[in-house]
Amino acid sequence: MAEKRDFLDELIDLQSDWRALSDLPSNMVDSLVGEGDRPVFNPADYKEKPFANSNKCLRVASGREDVCSRCLDVCPVKGALRIHNKSVLIGDDCRKCGLCAAVCPTETISTRRHAPRQVYDQIARVASAYEQCYVTCTRALKRVPKGNEVVLACVGAVPRDLWFSLLADYDNINVYLPVGICDRCRTTTGEEVYTDAIATAEEWADAVMGLEADESAMDHEYTRAYKRSQFVSGAIHSAERLVSRTNPALAGAKAVAKKVSDHAKRLDQLQRDLESAVGAKASNNRQRVLTQGRKLMMGALQHDEGLADFIRLEAPVCDSSLCTMCGDCAQVCTTHALDLDRRGNVTVKNAYCVGCGACVIVCEDGALSMEPMDVHELVIPDKAAEELARRKAEAKAKASEYMEKGKQQLGRVADVLEKLDDGSGESGSEK
């Protein structure tokens, strides 16, 4: 439902009309400026060669080729990525599409600027400030992006769990890809990767991602909240009643930055809460690894626990009557979600398990099998939000208590006044 407009909206519209008029001369100057002075679109600026932390690779940990080959299968350049001598190697012929990083369950492969949390923040900033946010690729856009366009080397570089958390937290995220663009792309595996990832994320988040194929239909409006915070800050400045040193042009951006940084703090707190509840280390003293994708997913679930009903995940279950305690499963699990303790019990901490199935593959005794897990286990109560809600409820209860007391006192005063009035009436009639 459209939000009700008020006087402030009218003022904002008037101000932007006035700005458009006063900008006319500068627009004319712009058109006379030489090409060299304008920002230039260079696809290489949006691409980044990934690096690998081979210690996290399931194939390296197990020394077996049948355990995982997701990165090798998805790489569009034959031989650009190799796993050799216990190392994941990325050659100079890498196309920098980011697909290997997106499909690797353990986040063995990553990039500095496009790690899941950074991409989340980048898209969240845009989705908070603009009516619509568009995620696209260098091939589709072919120009310097506008404020609400997020350009990636390939749309397939966004992992499933990241799409899920974005769809769960925002309802204005779209993919912009002209019809048929992927058919002519040399990153031949990208379309399949993003189709799978987005379809699963939509199912899990019970939401639909917008798809825009026509560039002229894209909307570049700021959100109402963003425009209002900029306008109010500007008004405070022009009235010379400076209550803060915030530049009015940055006021909206500052509010958005705070929202993103609050989200990051909440995720870090979530990890600390998880570690104190489940234990940060496995029995071999190895630090358990919570992938960025899983952390983002858990952050979204903390906000909306009901979404756990839509998510389908599997985790290993051990039949202890078949287990010979060889320890192969614990050795291959590079997130250290699976633990074989000194008494020979296999335990799995589902929050850390990425469902790769490597432990099941390496178990020669058939003691492990992948079974559907209860996703509600991934919901970590947000203690700060609970405390805030408790304080709000307390304040509300106190306010209604005072209101009730006030009403009673007013009632008593009214009674007294009525009696006085009756008394004066009676004495008047006696005269």
* The only residue of 123, 354, 367, 378 in contact with ligand SF4, by rule CB under 6 A: 354
Residue 202 CB, shortest distance to ligand SF4, in Å, is 24
Residue 107 CB, shortest distance to ligand SF4, in Å, is 8
- Residue 156 is a binding residue for ligand SF4 (CB under 6 A): no
Residue 286 CB, shortest distance to ligand SF4, in Å, is 12
- What does each C-alpha distance from 161 to 29, 139, 274, 405 come to in angstroms? 46, 24, 18, 52
Q: Which stretch binds ligand SF4 (CB under 6 A): 8-16, 152-160, 267-275, 346-354?
A: 346-354
Number of residues lying near ligand SF4 (CB under 6 A): 28
On whether the CB atoms of residues 137 and 114 are closer than 8 A, the answer is: no
Tokens coding 364:
């020669």
- Residue 356 is a binding residue for ligand SF4 (CB under 6 A): yes
- Residue 175 is a binding residue for ligand SF4 (CB under 6 A): no
83 versus 296: smaller Cβ distance to ligand SF4: 83
Residues 385-404 that bind ligand SF4 (CB under 6 A): none
299 versus 316: smaller Cβ distance to ligand SF4: 316
What CA–CA distance (Å, rounded) separates 290 from 273? 12
Residue 248 CB, shortest distance to ligand SF4, in Å, is 47
Residue 328 CB, shortest distance to ligand SF4, in Å, is 10
- Residue 126 is a binding residue for ligand SF4 (CB under 6 A): no
Give the Cα-Cα-Cα angle 225, 228, 234 (nearest 5 degrees).
145
- Binding-residue pattern over the window 302 to 331 for ligand SF4, x denoting contact by CB under 6 A: -------------xx---------------
Residue of 169, 164, 260, 172 whose CA lies nearest to 223: 172
Residue 344 CB, shortest distance to ligand SF4, in Å, is 17
What CA–CA distance (Å, rounded) separates 424 from 98? 89
- What does each C-alpha distance from 143 to 98, 139, 253, 419 come to in angstroms? 20, 9, 24, 82
68 versus 255: smaller Cβ distance to ligand SF4: 68
* The only residue of 12, 58, 154, 168 in contact with ligand SF4, by rule CB under 6 A: 58
* The only residue of 12, 75, 80, 88 in contact with ligand SF4, by rule CB under 6 A: 88
Helices 383-430 + 248-278 axis angle, to 10:
110
- Residue 358 is a binding residue for ligand SF4 (CB under 6 A): yes
- Residue 353 is a binding residue for ligand SF4 (CB under 6 A): yes
Residue 273 CB, shortest distance to ligand SF4, in Å, is 21
Residue appearing with tokens 């012929």: 93
- Binding-residue pattern over the window 93 to 112 for ligand SF4, x denoting contact by CB under 6 A: -----------x-x-xx---
* The only residue of 12, 68, 167, 274 in contact with ligand SF4, by rule CB under 6 A: 68
* The only residue of 71, 135, 153, 380 in contact with ligand SF4, by rule CB under 6 A: 71
Tokens coding 82:
């190799």
The answer for 177, left when phi > 0, alpha when psi is -120 to 50, beta otherwise, is beta
On whether the CB atoms of residues 192 and 161 are closer than 8 A, the answer is: no
158 versus 251: smaller Cβ distance to ligand SF4: 158
- Residue 355 is a binding residue for ligand SF4 (CB under 6 A): yes
Q: Which stretch binds ligand SF4 (CB under 6 A): 69-77, 131-139, 268-276, 411-419?
A: 69-77
What CA–CA distance (Å, rounded) separates 67 from 49? 25
Residues in the chain: 431
Residue 119 CB, shortest distance to ligand SF4, in Å, is 18
127 versus 332: smaller Cβ distance to ligand SF4: 332
What CA–CA distance (Å, rounded) separates 31 from 33? 6
- Residue 367 is a binding residue for ligand SF4 (CB under 6 A): no
- Residue 337 is a binding residue for ligand SF4 (CB under 6 A): yes
Residue 137 CB, shortest distance to ligand SF4, in Å, is 22
Q: Which stretch binds ligand SF4 (CB under 6 A): 51-59, 159-167, 183-191, 220-228?
A: 51-59
Q: Where on the chain is the footprint of ligand SF4 (CB under 6 A)?
A: 57-59, 68-71, 83, 88, 104, 106, 108-109, 315-316, 332-333, 335, 337-338, 348, 353-359
